[in-house]
A and B are shown apart, each in its own frame.
Chain A
Amino acid sequence: MKKLTEEQLFEIASGEVSRDAYGPLSAEDERELGTLVMLFGDLKVLDQGVPEMQFSEDRLRHAIEAAGKPVARRPFAWWWLAAPGVAASALVVVMLSRPSPVVAPEAPVAVVAKNDTPAPAPAPSVEEAVESAPLTVVIPDARQPEVSARPEVRRQRPARRPRERVKPMVIARLDEAARPSAMSAPMETKVRAADPAPETMAVGESAPVATEAVVVVQESEDRASGVRGAVEVQKSNDVVIGS
Chain B
Amino acid sequence: MSALALRMQQKMTTPTQASNAELGIETDEVLVAAARRGDYGAFEKLFVRHRQMVYRFAYQMAQRRDDAEDIVQEVFVRAYQNLANYREDARFTTWLLRIATNLATDRARMYNRRQALEQQEAAGALDWMTRGTTEDPVENLEDDRRKSAIKKALMALPEHHRAIIVMRDIEEREYADIAATLECSVGGAKLRVLRARRALRDRVLPLLGMENDPK
Contact = CB atoms under 8 A, between A and B. Distances in A.
Contacts of A32: 213
Contacts of B60: 46-47, 50
Interface in B83-126: 83-85
Interface residues on B, range: 35 or more
30 contacts: A6-B194, A6-B215, A10-B197, A14-B197, A32-B213, A35-B210, A38-B146, A39-B201, A39-B204, A42-B146, A43-B165, A44-B170, A46-B60, A46-B151, A46-B154, A47-B171, A50-B60, A53-B51, A53-B65, A53-B72, A54-B65, A55-B55, A60-B44, A60-B73, A60-B76, A61-B40, A64-B77, A67-B77, A70-B80, A73-B84
B185 to A, nearest CB: 17
Most chain B Cβ neighbours within 10 Å, of A3, A43, A68, A71: A43
Interface residues of A, number: 35
Interface in A58-93: 59-61, 63-64, 67-68, 70-73
Contacts of A14: 168-169, 197
- The majority secondary structure among interface residues of chain A is helix
A40 interface: yes
Contact of B77 (A51, A53, A63, A73): A63
Interface of B: 40, 44, 47-48, 51-52, 55-56, 59-60, 65, 68-69, 72-73, 76-77, 80-85, 146-147, 150-151, 154, 165, 168-172, 194, 197-198, 200-201, 204-205, 210, 213-215
Contacts of B151: 46
Interface string A1-40: 0010111001000100000000000000000100110111
